[in-house]
């Protein structure tokens, strides 16, 4: 069996750190895994996605429509965009933060209203979280990614210690405390 | 010990463990990190070269000099390096030489979707294709054995999904390869007609020997399963295996040039249906048909874009997974120039001038999108300069006063300089603008010959762009700060009017650099009338809500370009 996590966000939000930390934890648990990232042009403020797959033996690097056990979305509009990738019984964890894309900024398009309600109307298992507020409370708006990782970790059923070790081993020493506080803000929700 | 490694990182590890001593590359997504990782090994000499041709020639020279060598590039970079590659194939190697080339099916960060296997076939160089990080390391090491045994450069073909995915890799020790003294050998190393004729015969014999390797070495292997037969390599093998599992048997190719014949015939005889899964071009399929092997390939799959398990599942089994969709239309989120990007001010100035803009490859290609909507053409590295000369030659001197080329500092060094020489030498009057942000930006911040820092960040000589332009015959060279939109516009307008070629250098470091100047976020005063003029600069940090401009404090670095665009002076520095 392979467990599929799709992490979606906006370039610059730090989705790569979240996937990297997941990679460290799943590898430590002895799983085979593949973590597929986006580099280059699409990173520049565009819609970005990272695929994390772990299990006994993982072949493909990508997650396709109807295949994700979990979609971890860093931004509300991105939740709408990546919803089709979720399995019918998968869980969608969505940050409630909104970041306007350029077509909205220039007035060519409108940011959809009531996205969370419309997502719920599809029958999807939805867990919304105001990760920006929690990150600011933890000490840095930049730790939105680790707050969301904390929420995801709760669903993944691995002990907190494994995540703490991964954070300590991965983030710059100066930011360990803030990142652990951010992780717990999500994990203890 | 196993480590979780990016494919590119695993290639670098393979180079390290193979005892490679010299690496020269030009950055290009998705190949860049190979060289960034190799730069972390002090035992290996590494450098950024001005372009892929130079990088490949450095690797060739190092091989001749007795060091195992490597150069990395993206698929289109191999076009630039093709000249040395095709003849290095004739000369062969002293110590092993490997060329890493990363294709970008789906064009995540590229201007075309070409299939680099064509270059391997045309240059008669063997090509290996790994399917995960473990194979990236294994094949990088194997490539040196093949290179030295068969006297040939070897290509290592990667793709976005292999280069940019992490998977476990077993780490080993660095070996010291056998000494390779330099021995002068004109017949082998000096390619002029008499010698090259003999070497071409050698190349054909070598290809025959390598085909034997492809048949028997085990690098191409059969995985027995159901009665559907799939031939695939690299990332496409992963997709096929994910989609079909035990329902199919597989011939997994690790070497994609030259291809085996007898092995494929044996495999074909064991299955009821033979399917070729290959992204991009129909190279394996054509090979099968040439040898009378019945198969299906592009009748099931596209020439365009990436494949996936769901594409293969649907095409072969007719199965699709169910999923939910959001109940209404929603906007796209294209990539954009960053807040504070120095290119924004330059393009806003050009938009005001209404000129034809001959574009190039880099972050600034994003200025083609709305609202800046500022590029007329973008072809390949360096083509903005030479392309502008052609355009102006076709349309006359008056057009030359209404058109500019824009090119980044790294791209200018890569292949813009020759275009500049062409303009001056042939009495053109074109105006070229170098967007000098002191870094190779789009590929993730690599130093380059114009910024005075080596791959390791050590100080070195920097190309003096002003002196260089003077030296090739541009008398008029001006420098401007793109944050100062008004002056920039004035400088470009003045240079356009001159009856001589001009170079304008719009100089300001990339806003993402640690050294970049960051000011306090700007504020919007009550003078704002909600006219949305500020939105025309296309900055993600500014929007208009309830008829009032709003600046996002988390994103704004106070560049002031929006303040220039504001018609009522409502955007100000926070006192």
pLDDT in tens, B246-255: 999 999 999 9
| Rounded percentage of chain B residues whose pLDDT exceeds 70 | 100
- Under a CB-based contact definition with an 8 Å cutoff, are residues A69 and A92 in contact? no
**Residue B327 and residue A118: Cβ atoms within 8 Å?**
yes
Q: How much is the average pLDDT of B490-511?
A: 97
Q: What is the pLDDT of residues B319-356, one digit of tens each?
A: 999 999 999 999 999 999 999 999 999 999 999 999 99
Residues in B touching A111 (Cβ below 8 Å): 331
Check residue B527 and give its pLDDT: 97
Reported as half-sphere exposure (CB side, CA atoms, 13 A), residue B27 has a value of 26
* A46 or B465, higher pLDDT: B465
Secondary structure (3-state) at B89: helix
Of all helices (H) and strands (E), which one includes residue A102? helix A102-105
**What residues 527-556 of chain B have any CB closer than 8 A to a CB of chain A?**
532, 535, 538, 540, 542-543, 554
Question: CA nearest A79 in B: which residue?
Answer: B326
Check residue A43 and give its pLDDT: 66
pTM of the model: 0.97
| Rounded percentage of chain A residues whose pLDDT exceeds 90 | 87
In Å, how far is A185's CA from the nearest CA of chain B?
21
**Residue B308 and residue A62: Cβ atoms within 8 Å?**
yes
The encoded tokens of residue B563 equal 């303040």
In Å, how far is B171's CA from the nearest CA of chain A?
15
Check residue A42 and give its pLDDT: 60
Q: How much is the average pLDDT of B174-202?
A: 97
Check residue B575 and give its pLDDT: 78
The helix, strand and coil proportions of chain A, stated in percent and rounded to the nearest 5, come to: 45, 25, 30
- Helix and strand numbers (H, E) in chain B are 21, 22
Q: Which of B474, B449, B477 is nearest to B463 (CA)?
A: B449
Q: How much is the average pLDDT of B24-53?
A: 98
Query: Is the per-residue pLDDT at B6 higher than 80?
Result: yes
Q: What is the pLDDT of residues B261-280, one digit of tens each?
A: 999 999 999 999 999 999 99
Q: Work out the pLDDT band at A107, boundaries 50, 70, 90.
A: confident
Could you give phi then psi for residue A47, rounded to 5 degrees?
A: -75, 120
Q: How much is the average pLDDT of B120-145?
A: 98
Check residue A12 and give its pLDDT: 83
Check residue B515 and give its pLDDT: 87
Query: Is the per-residue pLDDT at B215 higher than 80?
Result: yes
Task: Identify which of B29, B322, B330 has the shortest CB distance to residue A88.
Answer: B322
Q: Work out the pLDDT band at B28, boundaries 50, 70, 90.
A: very high
């Amino acid at each position: 069996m392979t467990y599929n996590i799709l992490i979606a966000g906006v370039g610059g939000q730090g989705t790569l750190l979240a996937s990297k930390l997941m990679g460290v934890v799943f590898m430590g648990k002895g799983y085979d895994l593949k973590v597929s990232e986006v580099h280059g042009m699409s990173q520049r403020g565009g819609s970005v996605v990272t695929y994390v797959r772990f299990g006994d033996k993982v072949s493909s690097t990508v997650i396709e429509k109807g295949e994700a056990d979990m979609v971890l979305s860093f931004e509300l509009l991105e939740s709408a965009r990546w919803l089709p990738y979720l399995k019918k019984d998968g869980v969608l964890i969505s940050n409630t933060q909104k970041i306007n894309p350029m077509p909205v900024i220039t007035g060519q398009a409108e940011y959809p209203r009531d996205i969370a309600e419309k997502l719920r109307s599809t029958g999807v298992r939805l867990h919304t979280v105001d990760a920006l507020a929690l990150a600011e409370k933890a000490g840095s708006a930049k730790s939105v990614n680790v707050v969301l990782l904390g929420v995801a970790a709760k669903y993944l059923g691995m002990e907190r210690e494994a995540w703490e070790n991964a954070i300590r081993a991965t983030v710059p020493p100066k930011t360990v405390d803030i990142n652990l506080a951010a992780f717990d803000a999500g994990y203890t929700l | 010990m196993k480590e979780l490694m990016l494919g590119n990182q695993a290639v670098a590890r393979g180079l390290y463990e193979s005892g490679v001593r010299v690496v020269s590359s030009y950055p290009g997504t998705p190949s860049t990190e190979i060289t960034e990782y190799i730069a972390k090994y002090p035992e290996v000499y590494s450098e950024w070269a001005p372009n892929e041709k130079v990088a490949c020639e450095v690797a060739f020279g190092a091989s001749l000099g007795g060091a195992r060598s490597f150069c990395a590039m993206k698929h289109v970079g191999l076009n630039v390096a093709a000249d040395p590659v095709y003849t290095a194939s004739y000369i062969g190697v002293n110590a092993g030489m490997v060329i890493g080339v990363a294709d970008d099916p789906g064009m995540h960060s590229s201007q075309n979707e070409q299939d680099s296997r064509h270059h391997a076939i045309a240059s008669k160089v063997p090509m290996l294709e790994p399917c995960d990080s473990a194979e990236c390391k294994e094949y990088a090491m194997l490539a040196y054995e093949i290179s030295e045994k068969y006297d040939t450069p070897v290509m290592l073909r990667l793709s976005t999904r292999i280069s940019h995915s992490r998977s476990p890799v077993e780490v080993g020790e660095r070996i010291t390869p056998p000494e390779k003294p330099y021995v002068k050998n004109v017949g082998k190393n000096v390619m002029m007609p008499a010698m090259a004729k003999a070497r071409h015969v050698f190349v054909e014999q070598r290809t025959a020997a390598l085909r034997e390797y492809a048949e028997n070495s085990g690098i191409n292997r059969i995985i027995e399963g159901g009665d559907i037969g799939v031939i695939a390599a690299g990332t496409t093998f992963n997709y096929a295996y994910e989609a079909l599992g035990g329902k199919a048997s597989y011939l997994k190719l690790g070497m994609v040039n030259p291809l085996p014949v007898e092995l494929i015939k044996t495999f074909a005889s064991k299955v009821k249906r033979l399917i070729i899964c290959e992204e991009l071009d129909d190279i394996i399929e054509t090979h099968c048909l040439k040898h009378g092997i019945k198969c299906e390939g592009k009748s099931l799959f596209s020439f365009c874009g990436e494949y996936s398990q769901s594409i293969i599942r649907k095409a072969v089994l007719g199965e699709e997974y169910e999923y939910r969709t959001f109940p209404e239309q929603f906007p796209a989120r294209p990539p954009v120039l960053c807040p504070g990007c120095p290119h924004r001010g330059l393009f806003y100035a050009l938009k005001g001038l209404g000129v034809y803009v001959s574009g190039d490859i880099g972050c600034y290609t994003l200025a083609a999108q709305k609202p800046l909507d500022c590029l007329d053409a973008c072809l390949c590295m360096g083509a903005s300069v030479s392309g502008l000369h052609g355009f102006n030659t076709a349309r006359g001197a008056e057009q030359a006063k209404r058109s500019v080329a824009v090119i980044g500092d790294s791209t200018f060094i890569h292949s813009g300089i020759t275009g500049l020489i062409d303009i001056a030498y042939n009495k053109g009057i074109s105006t070229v603008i170098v967007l000098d942000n002191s870094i190779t930006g789009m590929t993730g911040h690599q130093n380059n010959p114009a910024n005075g820092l080596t791959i390791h960040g050590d100080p070195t000589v920097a190309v003096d762009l002003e002196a260089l332009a003077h030296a090739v015959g541009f008398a008029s060279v001006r420098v401007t700060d793109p944050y100062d939109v008004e002056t920039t516009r004035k400088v470009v307008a003045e240079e356009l009017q001159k009856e001589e070629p001009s170079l304008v250098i719009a100089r300001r470091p990339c806003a993402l650099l640690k050294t970049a100047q960051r000011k306090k976020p700007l504020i919007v005063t009550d003078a704002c009338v909600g006219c949305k003029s500020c939105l025309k600069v296309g900055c993600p940090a500014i929007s208009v809500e309830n008829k009032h401009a709003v600046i996002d404090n988390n994103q704004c670095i106070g560049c002031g370009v929006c303040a220039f665009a504001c018609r009522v002076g409502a955007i100000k520095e926070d006192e």
